[in-house]
Homo-oligomer: A and B are copies of this chain.
Amino acid sequence: MSFFDRLSERIDAVDSVVSVGLDPDPDRLPEQVQGAELPRWAFNRRIIDATHEHAACYKPNAAFYEDPDGWRALAETVAYAHGKNVPVLLDAKRADIGNTARQYATALDTVDAITVNPYLGGDSLQPFLDRTSKGVFVLCRTSNPGSGDLQELELAGGEQVYERVASLASTWNTGGNVGLVVGATAPAELETVRELVGDLPFLVPGVGTQGGDERAAVEYGLGDGVGLVNSSRGIIFAGEAATGHDDPARYFGAAGEAAKRLRRRLNRFR
């Protein structure tokens, strides 16, 4: 069964396209988990408990797990999310060549999907694309202010680089497992990319803390109803603003409420 078929079932089951970004910034973990053996895992477990009924997907960003305890925390997190029937997309933005790309692709042994960077070209992504039961989201138009430095350069034929990446990604999609990353902070580009690639599912980051356009994220991000709209800090650290936030129930309850509210807002546009 393909990743997008499984994701489609999950979206139907929870009536949600919300991706919850699991970015346990060590500087922001609440005191309640800091005494745990693996604080990031203790944090993620409670976030998953609080949010899984509203989550189509969990998206841990690899940057927050790159140390010995981090990889253990990530492995526990993935297993726990799977126990709640939620797929896991590793936001790794990886790209390398030859035997090194093959090594990076082994990350797909444990997670359901991954994000990759297209700068090195199609052959660098082949070891990921070959895993046809897994999802491969290619960075296309990112949500940061400097994304235009390369992505918006105009090519000799008139298209911009990110448009060419979208078209290339379509040609790389022989296994039916390719998606695109297009930020909600660029609603016009979301529409442009959607017109270029038919029904490819998008992962749309940039709503929440980054202030992206939720309507455009849903309207253009879903391909045949399948896609993901991600919020990370806006959900997992929602408890920082909660009254009585040193009470674990309130702190993590606020994350659950934030995920639920985002689901409701996004569902108005589905």
List residues of chain A with CB under 8 Å of any chain B CB. 23, 25, 61, 63-64, 66-72, 75, 93-101, 103-104, 107, 117-124, 139, 142-151, 153-156, 158, 161, 164-165, 168, 210, 233
Contact = CB atoms under 8 A, between A and B. Distances in A.
A95 B123 contact: no
Given A95-B93, A96-B61, A124-B144, A118 B153 contact: no
26 contacts: A63-B94, A63-B96, A64-B103, A66-B66, A66-B71, A67-B71, A68-B69, A71-B71, A97-B144, A117-B120, A118-B119, A118-B150, A119-B150, A119-B151, A120-B142, A121-B149, A122-B149, A124-B144, A150-B168, A153-B155, A153-B156, A153-B161, A153-B164, A154-B155, A155-B156, A156-B156
A149 B138 CA distance: 14
Which 7 A-B residue pairs are closest in the complex by CB-CB distance? A121-B146, A123-B146, A121-B149, A97-B144, A63-B103, A154-B156, A119-B119
Binding site secondary structure of chain A: helix
Contacts of A63: 94, 96, 100-101, 103-104
Contacts of A148: 121
